[in-house]
Amino acid sequence: MAMRRIVLLAGGVGGAKLAHGLAQVLAPGQLSVIVNTGDDFWHYGLRVCPDLDTVMYTLSGLVDPVNGWGVAGDTIAMLTALQRYGEEPWFRLGDQDVATHLLRTQALRGGSRLTEVTARLSQALGVSTQILPMTDDEVGTIIDTVEYGELAFQEYFVRYRWQPTVKAIRFAGIETARPTSEVEAAIVEADAIVLGPSNPWLSIAPILAVPGLRALIEAQPVPRLALSPIVAGRALKGPAAKLMAELGWDVSASAVARYYGDLINGFVYDVRDAGADVKTKNAVTFDTIMKTDADRAALASAMLEWIESGVVV
Amino acid sequence: MAMRRIVLLAGGVGGAKLAHGLAQVLAPGQLSVIVNTGDDFWHYGLRVCPDLDTVMYTLSGLVDPVNGWGVAGDTIAMLTALQRYGEEPWFRLGDQDVATHLLRTQALRGGSRLTEVTARLSQALGVSTQILPMTDDEVGTIIDTVEYGELAFQEYFVRYRWQPTVKAIRFAGIETARPTSEVEAAIVEADAIVLGPSNPWLSIAPILAVPGLRALIEAQPVPRLALSPIVAGRALKGPAAKLMAELGWDVSASAVARYYGDLINGFVYDVRDAGADVKTKNAVTFDTIMKTDADRAALASAMLEWIESGVVV
C-alpha cells in the first residue's frame, strides 16, 4: 500500500523536525501537518503562533538550526528598542519574525481565518506541505502551577522557563473551538495519522481536545501512530519528562503509549529503549533522534516503510 | 517680558529642528509642540505617525542626523523579511522604529488616546517637551493630483516622492475631528505661538483645520509668529516650493506671510531674503537654516529675544 496522504499532529521543534523528514520523502501535497495553537498568544498587539511558525520556518529552511525555532540570523533591534520605553520583553520577537506576526495579525484583523493566512504565508515561503492550525478559534493553554497558580502557556514556558511545578493543564476556549473543514478533510482522507514526538500533554493534547477531533481520528481505519518524545527516561527537548513526573506518570516511552491509549494502534519509540515494556499492540523501535536533515528523512522513511508493510491495522 | 510658555506648531523635520532649538534654550516644561497628524496612516496594521515620531526622536536625540527622521543606526530586517512574503514595502519601517509603532498601536487599540500614548512614549525617552498631536481623531491628508487623482498623503509623499502635480489638498475626517483639551490649554496659556518652518499647506494647514483651532489661535492676544520654510525661492526641504507653484502662489517668503494672513502678527524669514517685499506688519530676518544643534538654539534664542523685545503685539 503506497501512502498517498499522511497527517502529522505536531507541536513545535520535535514535530517540525519530523514534518521536515516526511516532507523530504513524500511528494509535494502528500503531507498535512495539524499544528497546536494552544501556545498562541497576543504580544504587543501581535498574534504570535510559535508552533505554526516553527513548522513553517523549518519546512521553508528559514529556521535557526541551533534553536530549532525562529529565523536563522535574526536580529532583535525591535526588542531592544522596546526596552528604551521601559518595557521588559520576556518573549523573543526577532526582527524578521515580526514580519510574520505583522502580516498574520493584519490578516486576522481583516477577517481572514488563521488557516487562510497560514496557507498564504507558508506558500509564499515555498512550502508545499499543508500547514493547518488545529482550529481557527483562539484557544489558550493554561498551566496551573504550585508556585504561581495559573499561568498562560508562554509565561510558564518562556518567562519562567518551565521551572514551576505543574498541577494541571487546561485549554481555555476549547469548548467553543471548532475544527476547521481543512483539518477534518485531512484526517478523513489520510492513509496514516502520525502523532509527532511533541509533548503529549502540551502540544498534542490541545489538538485532540478540539471538540470532535479525537473521536474523528480514532474513527479512521488507518494506521494511527504516535512517536515517543521520551528517550531513555528523558525528554528530547523541553519539559515533557519533568511534566510527566509532576503529573504522576512514570517517565518512559511506555507511559506515553499508555497515555494515548486506544487513540493509537501503533507506537514508535527509540532504539535506546528497546528493552522497555511497551504494552501497545504494534510497537517498533527506530533511531528517533533527529540531529541532521538526513536523520529526519531516515526516520520518516523507516516509519513509512513500517506502516506500508501492513503491520499496523 | 519673560516667555514662560511657548507653543510651536510643527510638521516633521523642519518643525522638529526648531522644537529642538527651543527646547535647548527654554526650561523643561515651557515648550508645547502641537504636531500635524494628517500624515498618520495605517501600515501593516500599525498606526504610523511620522511627524510625531520625528519630533519625538529629534527631541530625545535618537533621530537619524542625516535623514532628519527615523532612528539613527536603525536596520530594516523586518522590512526585508516582508519581501519574502511577496510584499513590496514602499514605506520605510526601521526595526527600532517598529517598537514605537507597536506600543502606540497596542495602546490605541486598548482605548488610549493618541495624546496619552505620545506623552508616555516621549516621557520614557526622557523628553521634557510636551508633544501634542493636533487631535486624537484620525485625520488623513489627501492630495488630489493631476497624474493619479487623489492620493493618501504617504502615497504622494513617499511612494511617489512628491513628484505628482498637486491640484488640491483636503483633510479627510477633519470635520469631525476635535481639538484635545491639552492642545486648547496649551494655546490659551501660551505667551507666544510659533508656526514652525514646516510646509504651510501640508503640515501647518491640517493643524489649523482642526475645528476651532485656527480661531482659538487667532484670538490669543500674544505674539503669533510664523517662520518661512521658503528661503531664496526654494524649500529648505521637501515639496513646499513645488507645491506653492502648483497651487498658484509665487514661491517666496512673502507669499507664505500672505498665506497665513491675519492669523499671524509677526513673521520670521531668512536673512538671504532680506530684500524681499514682505507685507506683514512685524517681520524680521534671521539665519533660519538649522544645520547644527547650535544653529537651532541660535535661531530659537534670536526669535525669543525678538518677541520679548515687545516688537510684536
- How many other C-beta atoms lie within 10 A of the C-beta of residue A4? 13
Of B44, B71, B84, the CB nearest to A124: B84
**Best residue in B93, B102, B118, B122 to probe A by mutation, most A CBs within 10 Å?**
B102
- Partners of A82 on chain B (C-beta within 8 Å) are 99, 102-103
Residue B287 belongs to domain spanning: 6-144+172-308
**Best residue in B80, B85, B112 to probe A by mutation, most A CBs within 10 Å?**
B85
**Best residue in A59, A84, A117 to probe B by mutation, most B CBs within 10 Å?**
A84
> Where residue A310 falls among pLDDT bands split at 50, 70, 90?
confident
* DSSP letter (8 states) at residue A175: G
* Rounded Cα distance, B295 and B13, in Å: 15
C-alpha cell at A142: 493554561
Count of structural domains, chain B: 1
Q: What is the mean pLDDT of chain A?
A: 95
pLDDT at A252: 94
- Backbone torsions φ then ψ of A230, nearest 5 degrees: -100, 125
* Rounded Cα distance, A51 and A53, in Å: 5
Residue A165 included in any domain: no
- Partners of A124 on chain B (C-beta within 8 Å) are 84-86
Query: Chains A, B: CB contacts under 8 A, how many?
Result: 94
Residue B163 included in any domain: no
Indicate whether A275 pLDDT > 90: no
Residue A82 included in any domain: yes
Please report, for the domain that includes residue A238, its CATH number: 3.40.50.10680
Buried b / exposed e along A142-157 (16+ C-beta atoms within 10 A)? bbbbeeeeebbbbbbb
Model confidence pLDDT, tens digit, residues B81-95:
999 999 998 899 999
Query: What chain B residue is nearest to A109 in terms of C-alpha separation?
Result: B45
B 66-95 residues inside an 8 A Cβ radius of A: 71, 74-75, 77-82, 84-87, 94-95
Test A45 with B77 for CB contact under 8 angstroms. no
Test B102 with A78 for CB contact under 8 angstroms. yes
**Best residue in A64, A95, A122, A127 to probe B by mutation, most B CBs within 10 Å?**
A95
Residue B166 included in any domain: no
Residue B45 sits at the chain A interface (C-beta within 8 Å): yes
Of A82, A84, A99, the CB nearest to B81: A99
pLDDT at A279: 80
The whole-model pTM stands at: 0.94
Of A74, A78, A84, the CB nearest to B98: A78
Of A46, A86, A95, the CB nearest to B95: A95
Test A106 with B75 for CB contact under 8 angstroms. no
C-alpha to C-alpha distances, A172 to A109, A176, B23, nearest whole angstrom: 21, 9, 51
Of A22, A12, A21, A53, which Cα lies nearest the Cα of A192?
A22
Q: Is beta strand B224-227 parallel, antiparallel or unpaired with respect to B266-270?
A: parallel
Amino acid A187 reads: I
C-alpha cell at B302: 534670536
User: In angstroms, what is the C-alpha Rg of chain B?
Assistant: 19
Query: What chain A residue is nearest to B85 in terms of C-alpha separation?
Result: A124
Model confidence pLDDT, tens digit, residues A63-78:
999 999 999 999 999 9
- Backbone torsions φ then ψ of A227, nearest 5 degrees: -105, 140
pLDDT at A4: 87
Indicate whether B284 pLDDT > 80: yes
Contact A9, A15 (CB under 8 A): yes
| Look-up of cell digits 526622557 | B126
Of B81, B103, B105, the CB nearest to A85: B103
C-alpha to C-alpha distances, A225 to A6, A26, A51, A166, A220, nearest whole angstrom: 11, 17, 21, 27, 12
Residue B131 included in any domain: yes
Residue A158 sits at the chain B interface (C-beta within 8 Å): no
Residue A162 included in any domain: no
Of B207, B41, B231, which Cα lies nearest the Cα of B140?
B41
Rounded to 5°, angle at Cα A96 from A93 and A101: 60
Q: List, in sequence order, the alpha helices (H) in chain A.
A: 13-25, 50-60, 77-84, 95-109, 114-124, 153-154, 181-189, 205-209, 213-218, 240-246, 253-260, 293-308
Residue A60 included in any domain: yes
Q: Residues A91-97: what's their mean pLDDT? A: 95
C-alpha to C-alpha distances, B284 to B151, B258, B291, nearest whole angstrom: 37, 15, 20
Of B62, B96, B124, the CB nearest to A78: B96
Indicate whether A139 pLDDT > 70: yes
pLDDT at A2: 67
pLDDT at A293: 95
C-alpha cell at B178: 476635535
Lowest mean pLDDT of A17-21, A197-201, A273-277, name the range.
A273-277
Q: Is beta strand A6-10 parallel, antiparallel or unpaired with respect to A31-35?
A: parallel
Residue A16 included in any domain: yes
DSSP annotation string for B243-272: HHHHTT--SSHHHHHHHHGGG-SEEEEEGG
Indicate whether A100 pLDDT > 60: yes
Q: Residues B253-260: what's their mean pLDDT? A: 95
Is the ipTM higher than 0.95? The answer is no
CA distance A152 to chain B (A): 19
